[in-house]
Amino acid sequence: MTGVPASAAGGTSSANDAPASAGSGAASGGAPSGAMSGSVSGGVPSGGVSAGSASSDAPGVVESGLPGGPRPARGAKVVAAAVNQASVWNIANFLTMLRLLLVPGFVALMLADGGYDPAMRSFAWAAFAIAMITDLFDGHLARTYDLVTDFGKIADPIADKAIMGAALICLSSLGDLPWWVTVVILGRELGITLLRFLVIRYGVIPASRGGKLKTLTQGIAVGMYVLALTGWLATLRFWVMAAAVVLTVLTGLDYVRQAIVLRRQGIAERAAASEETEA
């Protein structure tokens, strides 16, 4: 064994002990160790491999080396949504809360002194007018200045229904407005709200021009009934309320039609997607 170089003997013994030493033995045969490590990694430099493996474990680091290109690390979308969420304490939500707070004050003014005091009815009309005006501005401000919040999405429709429902019930309880008018308007509002929730899985029913005209007409008509009007103004408010009831019914039927179409389209799209997946 004196004629065998010590390096060869060492290489033989290491090859028998660990399979990984074959790479090092081949490298000692003339190939640089860096080239050998590159061939083992599939042509990717060892530095690139280590960077890629490190980025998959480090939070917030963009992962690379995938066919789809760079993509954000897990949880990045959730973090971005939390950062982009507008604060609950903004002017749009403040107006919505103001509208909710006006409801009990409006009811108290409407029913003060038996509900037939012209001065109290005038104050009640002022509260109702402020509530309707804030309804026009809070949604516009939220969309324009990116102040849309989950709280606003829930509180805004509640405030709308609360002030209108309180006004209609007070008027009917005082005998100024037939109960069937109150039932038709409130039934339509509650029914359409429930319908929106039922079809939300298929899409959102957009607000139409007819619906906006209905809301405006209802506000004017109810406001005229809140005031203690007499003479030709009392006759005029009757016809304005009649127009509001007609618009309420027609727009309600239109929403039902849109909901049916939206549901059919959603079912058809899901069926088509399911067939493509099975194919």
Q: Is 78's pLDDT higher than 60?
A: no
Q: Is 79's pLDDT higher than 90?
A: no
Residue 236: per-residue pLDDT: 96
Residue 85: per-residue pLDDT: 52
Residue 38: per-residue pLDDT: 38
Instruction: Convert the pLDDT of each residue in 165-214 to its tens digit.
Output: 999 999 999 999 999 999 999 999 999 888 888 888 888 777 778 888 99
Instruction: Convert the pLDDT of each residue in 112-124 to its tens digit.
Output: 988 989 999 999 9
Q: Is 126's pLDDT higher than 70?
A: yes
Q: Is 269's pLDDT higher than 60?
A: yes
Residue 199: per-residue pLDDT: 86
Helix crossing, 118-144 with 91-111: angle to 10°?
160
Q: Can you tell me the distance from the alpha carbon of 81 to that of 17, in angstroms, rounded to the nearest whole number? A: 55
CB 87 within 8 A of CB 151: no
**R_g over Cα of the chain:** 36
Q: Can you tell me the distance from the alpha carbon of 228 to that of 116, in angstroms, rounded to the nearest whole number? A: 8
Sequence-distant (6+) residues with CB within 8 A of 222 are 128, 164, 167, 168, 171, 241, 244
Q: In terms of Cα–Cα distance, which of 208, 201, 207 is closest to 262?
A: 201
Write down the residue that tokens 């804030």 correspond to. 134
Instruction: Convert the pLDDT of each residue in 30-76 to its tens digit.
Output: 434 433 333 333 443 444 434 333 334 444 444 444 445 455 444 44
Instruction: Convert the pLDDT of each residue in 200-256 to its tens digit.
Output: 888 877 777 888 899 899 999 999 999 988 899 999 999 999 999 999 999 999 999
CB 126 within 8 A of CB 227: no
CA torsion sign, 123 to 126 to 132 to 135?
negative
Q: Is 110's pLDDT higher than 50?
A: yes
Instruction: Convert the pLDDT of each residue in 23-35 to its tens digit.
Output: 333 333 343 443 3
Q: Is 261's pLDDT higher than 70?
A: yes
How would residue 86 be classed by pLDDT, with cut points 50, 70 and 90?
Answer: low
Output phi, psi for 18, to 5 deg. Answer: -140, 130
Mean pLDDT confidence for 1-14: 40
Q: In terms of Cα–Cα distance, which of 273, 260, 268 is closest to 198?
A: 260
Sequence-distant (6+) residues with CB within 8 A of 21 are 11, 14, 15
Long-range contacts from 174-183, C-beta under 8 angstroms, 24+ separation: 174/110, 174/111, 174/115, 174/116, 176/225, 177/225, 177/241, 181/241, 181/245
How would residue 141 be classed by pLDDT, with cut points 50, 70 and 90?
Answer: confident
